[in-house]
Structures are given as C-alpha cells and as structure tokens.
C-alpha cells in the first residue's frame, strides 16, 4: 500500500467513526469555528482539571478532512496536560503550513501524520486546522476564567 493510500485510509477511518464526538458536560469553555470556504463547522468544549485536559467534546459538520482531523486531535490531547496539547497544536500547524515539505514526527502526532499530504493543497489546509484552532481557542478561554 502506498503511503498516500494509507493516509487516506486513516482519514476515512476517523471520519466514519469520530473519536470522542458529541457535546459533554462539564466544560469550562465552548467555542464555535467555521471554515466558510468549505462549509466546515465545529462546536467544541474543553474541560480542564488543574493543568490536565480532562475532556474535549465536539459536534462537527463538514468535509472528511475537517472531521477526521478533529477526531485525531481529541485522541491526542485528552488526558494530557495543556502544555503538551498546545505543543502538538504548534507542531501540527507547522506541518500544515509546510506545503508538504515538513517531515512529521509520527511518535508525537500519531494519526495526525495522515494530514501531511493535505498540506500540499492550500485550499484544504483550513479544513485540517479547524478543530485544532478551536481547541487552542477553547483552552485560552478556559484558562482566562
């Protein structure tokens, strides 16, 4: 199997069964992000306990890339501390802005590496970032309380 096909498979798996999806209580912050160029929407909640991201819950509509990316993000950040989650956000952002030239760190980004190929398509980069941006925003709001 070619690496592009493997990446495609990972994205479709997350899209078909989104991990941690649905809106849950309790939560400290809720944000809504839209990507009008594609029609993607995500409503996302974050709950922190101390410095730990104890839950990220969300409702999303839109393309397979946006929804799969949000699912992967939730997998990677829930149960870890905030600094780890924000660090992964930066790493994912760098990869997505790298026009396909940046070799992703599989040990840290896990299924997130599947979006490395998407970075070659500028129109889809926002799709892959919507859930991550929503996560970062919600963290900032939760911490401001």
> Which residue's CB is nearer to Zn ion, number 40 or number 55?
40
Residues making contact with Zn ion (CB under 5 A): 38, 40, 62-63, 66, 127
Supply the minimum distance, in Å, between the C-beta of residue 79 and Zn ion.
27
Supply the minimum distance, in Å, between the C-beta of residue 19 and Zn ion.
18
DSSP 1-37: --HHHHHHHHHHHHHHS-TTBB--S--SEEEEEEETT
Q: Which residues contact 11 (CB under 8 A, 6 or more apart)?
A: 64, 65, 68, 114, 115
Supply the minimum distance, in Å, between the C-beta of residue 62 and Zn ion.
5
> Which residue's CB is nearer to Zn ion, number 88 or number 127?
127
Q: In a 10 Å sphere around its CB, with 0-12 CB exposed, 13-18 middle and 19+ buried, how is residue 36 labelled?
A: exposed
> Which residue's CB is nearer to Zn ion, number 33 or number 47?
33
Q: Specify whether the CB–CB gap between 15 and 71 falls below 8 A.
A: yes
Supply the minimum distance, in Å, between the C-beta of residue 101 and Zn ion.
22
> Which residue's CB is nearer to Zn ion, number 62 or number 104?
62
């Amino acid at each position: 199997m070619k690496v592009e096909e493997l990446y495609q498979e990972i994205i479709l798996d997350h899209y078909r069964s989104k991990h941690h999806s649905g809106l849950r209580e309790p939560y400290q912050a809720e944000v809504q992000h839209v990507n009008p160029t594609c029609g993607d929407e995500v409503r996302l909640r974050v709950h922190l306990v101390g410095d730990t991201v104890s839950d990220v819950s969300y409702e999303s509509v839109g393309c397979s890339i946006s929804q799969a990316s949000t699912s992967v993000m939730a997998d990677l950040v829930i149960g870890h501390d905030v600094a780890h989650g924000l660090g992964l956000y930066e790493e994912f952002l760098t990869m997505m802005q790298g026009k396909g030239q940046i070799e992703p760190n599989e040990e840290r980004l896990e299924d997130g590496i599947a979006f490395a190929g998407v970075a070659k398509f500028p129109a889809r980069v926002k799709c892959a970032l919507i859930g991550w941006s929503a996560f970062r925003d919600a963290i900032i709001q939760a911490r401001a309380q």
